[in-house]
Structure 1
Amino acid sequence: MQPTPLSDVADAMADVVASMQEPTKVEETLELITRSAAETIPGILEASISITTRGGEIQTLAPTGPRVARADHLQYELHEGPCLDAAIEESVVIVNDLASDPRWPDFGPKAAALGFGSQVAFQFRAEPHVRGALNLYADGPYGLDQDSIHLGSMFAGQIAVAMGWAKQEQTLTEALTTRNLIGQAVGIVMERYQLDSDRAFAFLVRLSQSANKKLRTVAATLVDTANEAAKR
């Protein structure tokens, strides 16, 4: 699986942020987020959003295609599946092989028959009643890696902002700060190890995974260290 160029992710994030600052319908922003997630996250083929209501119902918003909408609705009909678990209970649900995962014996094989091999769902919420999940589908088993997880969580955060479920100004500022930090860190790694941008970004992701720290934290530490060294 090839690493996603940082510039592609940054451009997608910038487009979403811009849409939030303009008088655009929420539905259009959500469609932009799911489409951007499917186009820029490594291995992801389709994306959608599951939303619960105060009455306990659940529905799909902004699917990138009819196949992913069908996969979501299968979960609602069968009362089992990753997007249900993420929207109602767990913060992140990862499925490496839908066809054989014993957690969802009815949904898994049906999803595989639709052409999906793996899936990840990220929860976001508006307390105390309404919750939702960003659903990302890959075409083959084990089609997800740590790049997919890190980047998917960033897009899930943008959905919460778009729906007014988070403090928009604070979250947008944090998103832009994170993007700038990662960009600076990529530049440092490129210069230090003579790597291109794709390999430098992949290096940061692997470092984040091995240290069990968020990508933003790893980038901030690298930038701070470089700044301190420059002062000496």
Structure 2
Amino acid sequence: MVSTAELDGFLRTLTQRRSRLAELGESDASPSMRELFAEALDMSQELVLADAELRAQQEQLEVSRGELARLAARHDRIVNASDRAYIVTTDMGVLRDVNPAGRALLSLPDFVRSPRPIATRFSELDRAAVRSLINRAAREPELTHRLDKVVLIDRPARPVAVAVTGFHDPTTGELLLDWEITVASRPAFAPATPALPTQDRWRHAEAPAEAARPQPADARMVELVRDLSALEEPADALARVVDEVRTLIDGCEHVGLVLPERGAGTSQLAHQEPPLRALHELEARHKQGPVQDAERTRHAVLVSSLAHDLRWPALARDATDLPISSLVVIPVAFAGRQAGSLTVATHAAQGFDERTVAQLNCLTGLVMPVLGLVRQRQNLRTALASRQEIGTAVGILVERHRITADAAFTLMVAASQRLNVKLRTIAAEVMHTGSDPDDLTIAPSGTRRSAHP
């Protein structure tokens, strides 16, 4: 291959000869010589153009050589044995190539071009975080995207760390993702397994291994749902969910759970700690913030440092005094209404990540329907008590005025509409005061009652 220095020397020589030919052509007046010199000049121009094309091809060749070198290095990692797991997927996370260490780590039966999405090799709690990692790597392939402390389905006791970088296939131009998965070192505090006596080794090998396996996260969620289902008051169920969030999320210092109750738009079933209550007040003042964004877009919002977040500049300026830096807001649906949110917060920056978002999404997806059932049971109990009161009041009016039950009920409905209060409030007044519905003058709040003289 001709080097760049050789090409430069050739071009200089060619330029000098071209200039010399031009001088000779001008000094000789013979037409034949002029024609000969003109042809020589045309030839030299073609050589200059050929030189430029050769340079462009050489530059492209250098680029291709670099791409091939990177591809060869990647191929060596995939094919050759390595103690690290290297995987190549499409930009959608579908497996393409896996080296032996990666195949062993992911428990894959096939070596190459398995159609399985890589996210399915992770635990259910971590799959949303892995999918989010894939999306980020596809959007920004030039960066290295990381995810720590995620769990593989076949290795629940050993979390792994994942690093993903995008690259383009030099032959097809397709965007691919390069994965490196490393297993976390065994904890230093893990006790060593004591040696068993010879006579006990076979007995130990035949013993069931269920007791040694860690309890899956699903079992904990099942226990939580069972506990919530046994509660009668929505406030008690809300407190149980808040306790579970504190236990589940590492580094969680503050929890806020706001759920709209059925009926009035301002009535809420809520647990808000002072820092989060102050944050909500700031959001209401500035009409911007993570909670408002989550409830408006119906997507989770992850904040690494509230005081430096450019999405809400006015809020960020006033939030510097709050003991909150990192937070996650999850929009939730409750009692058929899409207006609630779950918030976790900590004073430390970078306190939460995509795994936190995945854990909270899984938790809310399980417990919100159960909370709705607890609330529905309370509503049914309230409705049953109201029906009993209304029936008693109807009986009082039937006995007093010698009218039918329908007529007595019509009197109560008319009083309810006239006073703009619930029918059960009219029934309670009839029961406790002995007044007729037409004589009642109840304040709309229901806290003040009297009868016409």
TM-score, normalised to structure 1, is 0.58
SS in structure 1 at match of 2:342: strand
The change in CA–CA distance for 1:124 and 1:11 in structure 2 (over 3 A counts) is same
SS in structure 2 of the partner of residue 94 of structure 1: strand
Specify the alignment match of 1:209 in structure 2: none
Equivalent of residue 158 in structure 1, options 347, 366, 391: 366
1:108 aligns with: 316
Instruction: Evaluate the alpha carbon distance shift between residue 13 and residue 126 of structure 1 in structure 2; reply closer, same or farther with a 3 A threshold.
Output: closer
Query: Is this contact kept in 2: 1:12–1:36, CA < 8 A?
Result: no
Cα deviation digits, residues 97-149 of structure 1 (max 9, x gap): 10111111232344342211111111122597542111111221111123312
What residue in structure 2 maps to residue 136 of structure 1?
A: 344
Root-mean-square deviation (Å): 3.4
Picking from 47, 50, 61, the partner of 2:255 is 47
The residue type paired with residue 356 of structure 2 is S
| 1:124 and 1:131 in contact (8 A); partners too | yes
In structure 1, the partner of 2:12 is none
* Equivalent in 268, 271, 274 of residue 62 of structure 1: 271
* Secondary structure at the counterpart of residue 62 of structure 1: strand
Output the TM-score relative to the length of structure 2: 0.32
CA contact (8 A) 1:96 1:118 kept: yes
Q: Which amino acid aligns with 1:71?
A: L
Higher relative CO (CA 8 A, sep ≥ 6), structure 1 or 2?
A: 1
C-alpha spacing 1:55/1:17, structure 2 compared with 1 (3 Å): closer
For 2:356, the equivalent position in structure 1 comes to 148
Query: Does structure 2 retain, via aligned residues, the 8 Å contact 1:117–1:138?
Result: yes
Distance 2:335 2:235 in 1: 21
2:300, 2:357 within 8 Å by CA — same for their partners in 1? no
**3-state SS of 1:88 partner:** helix
Residues 186-201 of structure 1 correspond to what in structure 2 (within 5 A)?
none
Question: Where does residue 18 of structure 1 map in the other structure?
Answer: 226
The number of equivalent residue pairs is 166
Of 236, 247, 251, which aligns to 1:28? 236
Instruction: Give the AA of the match of 1:37.
Output: V
Indicate how the Cα distance of structure 1 residues 139 and 14 shifts in structure 2: closer, same or farther if over 3 A, else same. farther
| Equivalent-residue separation in structure 1 for 2:302 and 2:282 (angstroms) | 18
C-alpha distance in 2 between matches for 1:160 and 1:118: 24
Contact 1:124 1:133 in 2 (8 A): yes
CA contact (8 A) 2:260 2:269 kept: no
Residues 16 and 29 in structure 1, CA contact (< 8 A), matched pair in contact too: no
Question: Aligned equivalents of 1:158 and 1:72: distance in 2?
Answer: 25
Q: What are the ranges of 5 or more consecutive residues in structure 1 without an aligned counterpart?
A: 166-232
Residue identity opposite 2:239 in structure 1: E
Structure 1 residue 89 corresponds to structure 2 residue 297: yes
- Whole-angstrom distance in 1 between the partners of 2:365 and 2:253: 20
Specify the code of the residue in structure 2 equivalent to 1:141. A
SS of alignment partner, residue 86 of structure 1? helix
- The superposition leaves residues 146-173 of structure 1 with CA deviations (integer Å, 9 ceiling, x where unpaired) of 33122111222234213328xxxxxxxx
Q: Whole-Å Cα distance in 2 between the matches of residues 68 and 144 of structure 1?
A: 16
- Residue 42 of structure 1, CA deviation: 1.9
* Aligned 8 A contact 2:331 2:341 in 1: yes
**What amino acid sits opposite 1:36 in the alignment?**
E
Which residue identity lines up with residue 271 of structure 2 in the other structure? Answer: A
Residue number in structure 2 paired with 1:220: none
1:29 shift after superposition: 1.1
Deviation at 1:92, TM superposition (A): 1.0
